[in-house]
């Protein structure tokens, strides 16, 4: 392919972006005109919408997904001396939340096809100090929750599902949110629905629910059944060391409005993923995502693998070429053990064959509901142009 065939875009196409409409704006304006802009009824409505959609009994909203994961680790009782197994191919929050509680993250390698935590590798990392598993639904495809649940049950562990990527996904016909002891959803602008910043923990366990409620609000309670004494209707007690991790009614009202559109957003994401699959499945040197038959991904990310042997400069050169075409490709993620902070704690890349191979070859393509058919075609044309340009003879 010659430079005369070079695709052209006049604007930069990001890898992800929120979809806000007039209904969302009106929902936020209504809260701004109400009596409560924080700690009011919009938060409970949002929590109820998330719980009902995901099939959970309880939901607790936090100011962001990282705070929500911190709360889940706290509710699970993670502390000094406890180990928590998770994946290195995830955002920093999935392991930092363990450190916040004084625990030790233990990384297990990923599967070569789904890029999710490999249950066989998890089993190898179990010790007498293991307290929990944080399983990340990477790209929107649920982890092998049946196998991980069995491991957790057999070893008395708490299973936390980091579903920041998988709101709207299912495993064996069951929605994510109804599968683990606690599940975290993220509402960052690039996620399926947004509150600006925000996170939610859903659970069927009342004890976890009550701990989470106090944890997000300074460790305080006004629940008369929990008070050690009661001086009057104004009385509250701080019973734990908690944090100010509260979400606002402004954010929650946006989230509730967005939740009504979630199924449509997920459907569009699946259409885009299918278009990419059809376009790239027969391109030598490219590996499209693999989906387990029991999973129905909600497609937060679309990862395309670039075989180093097929292309000059491999993934890195392809990344640069696509960015030059104004296609906002990205890389998700740098393995956490590679971060300087973690290296200082003694972590290294030793033993992570699949995670390292993944990191060398993975590229994220733009995928979000507001993409037009023309945007999708621009990505397809751009990838095909770059593969032709960089292909080794």
Residues 125 and 230 in one domain: yes
In which element (H, E) is residue 340 found?
Answer: helix 340-344
Which structural domain range is residue 293 located in?
Answer: 262-390
Count: domains in the chain: 2
**Weakly modelled stretches of the chain, pLDDT under 50:** none
242 and 368 part of one domain: no
Indicate if 170 and 293 belong to the same structural domain.
no
- Is 57 in the same domain as 191? yes
Task: Give pLDDT tens digits for 182-232.
Answer: 999 999 999 999 999 999 999 999 999 999 999 999 999 999 999 999 999
| Final residue in a domain of this structure, among 259, 277, 297 | 259
Across the chain, the runs of DSSP E, i.e. the strands, are 58-62, 83-86, 104-107, 130-136, 158-162, 170-171, 174-175, 182-186, 199-203, 220-221, 237-238, 286-287, 295-296, 302-306, 362-365
β 130-136/83-86 pair status: parallel
* Nearest by Cα to 18 from 200, 271, 247, 195: 195
pLDDT value at residue 8: 84
Q: What are phi and psi of 182, to 5 degrees?
A: -140, 145
**Residue 285: CA atoms inside 13 Å, Cβ hemisphere, count?**
21
Quote the pLDDT of residue 2.
55
Q: What are the tokens at 141?
A: 């495809």
In a domain, 212, yes or no: yes
Whether residues 233 and 283 fall in one domain:
no
**Is residue 215 included in any domain, yes or no?**
yes
- CATH number assigned to the domain comprising residue 305: 3.90.1150.10
Identify whether 15 is part of a domain.
no
The string of DSSP letters for 35-103 reads S-SBSSHHHHHHHHHHHHHHT-SEEEEESSHHHHHHHHHHHTT--TT-EEEE-SSS-THHHHHHHHTT-
Answer with the one of 259, 288, 308 that is the final residue of a domain. Answer: 259
170 & 54 share domain: yes
138: left (phi over 0), alpha (psi -120 to 50) or beta: beta
204 in the same domain as 254: yes
Query: pLDDT tens across 296-354, in order?
Result: 999 999 999 999 999 999 999 999 999 999 999 999 999 999 999 999 999 999 999 99
Distance, CA of 60 to CA of 43 (rounded, Å): 9
CA distances from 253 to 208, 248, 261, 301 (A): 25, 9, 13, 26
Shared domain for 216 and 351, answered yes or no, is no
Quote the pLDDT of residue 6: 87
């Amino acid at each position: 392919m010659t430079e005369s065939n070079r695709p052209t875009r006049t604007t930069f196409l990001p890898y992800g972006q929120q979809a806000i409409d007039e209904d969302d704006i009106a929902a936020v304006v209504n809260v701004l005109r109400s009596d409560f802009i924080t700690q009011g009824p919009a938060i409970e409505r949002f929590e109820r919408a998330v719980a009902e959609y995901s099939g959970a009994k309880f939901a607790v909203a936090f100011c962001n997904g990282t705070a929500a994961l911190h709360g889940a680790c706290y509710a699970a009782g993670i502390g000094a001396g406890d180990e928590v197994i998770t994946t290195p191919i995830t955002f920093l929050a999935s392991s930092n939340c363990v450190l916040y509680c004084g625990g030790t993250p233990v990384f297990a390698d990923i599967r070569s096809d789904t890029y999710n935590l490999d249950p066989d590798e998890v089993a190898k990392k179990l010790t007498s100090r293991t307290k929990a598993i944080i399983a990340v639904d990477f790209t929107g495809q649920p982890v092998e929750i049946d196998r991980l649940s069995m491991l957790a049950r057999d070893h008395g562990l708490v299973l936390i599902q980091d579903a920041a990527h998988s709101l709207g996904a299912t495993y064996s016909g069951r929605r994510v949110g109804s599968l683990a002891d606690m599940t975290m959803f993220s509402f960052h602008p690039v996620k399926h629905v947004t509150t600006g910043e925000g996170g939610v923990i859903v659970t069927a366990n009342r004890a976890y629910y009550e701990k989470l409620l106090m944890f997000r609000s300074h460790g305080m309670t006004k629940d008369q059944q929990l008070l050690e004494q009661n001086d009057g209707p104004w009385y509250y007690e701080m019973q734990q060391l908690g944090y100010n991790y509260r979400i606002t009614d402004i954010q929650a009202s946006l989230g509730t409005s967005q939740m009504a559109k979630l199924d449509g957003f997920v459907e569009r994401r699946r259409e885009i993923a299918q278009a990419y699959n059809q376009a790239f499945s027969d391109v030598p040197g490219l590996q499209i995502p693999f989906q387990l038959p029991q999973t129905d991904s909600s497609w937060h990310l679309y990862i395309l693998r670039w075989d180093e042997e097929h292309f000059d400069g491999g993934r890195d050169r392809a990344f640069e070429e696509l960015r030059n075409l104004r296609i906002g490709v990205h890389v998700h993620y740098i393995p956490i053990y590679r971060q300087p902070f973690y290296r200082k704690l003694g972590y290294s890349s030793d033993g992570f064959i699949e995670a390292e191979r993944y990191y060398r070859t993975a590229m994220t393509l733009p995928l979000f509901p507001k993409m037009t058919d023309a945007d999708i075609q621009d990505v397809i044309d751009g990838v095909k142009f770059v593969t032709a340009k960089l292909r080794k003879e």
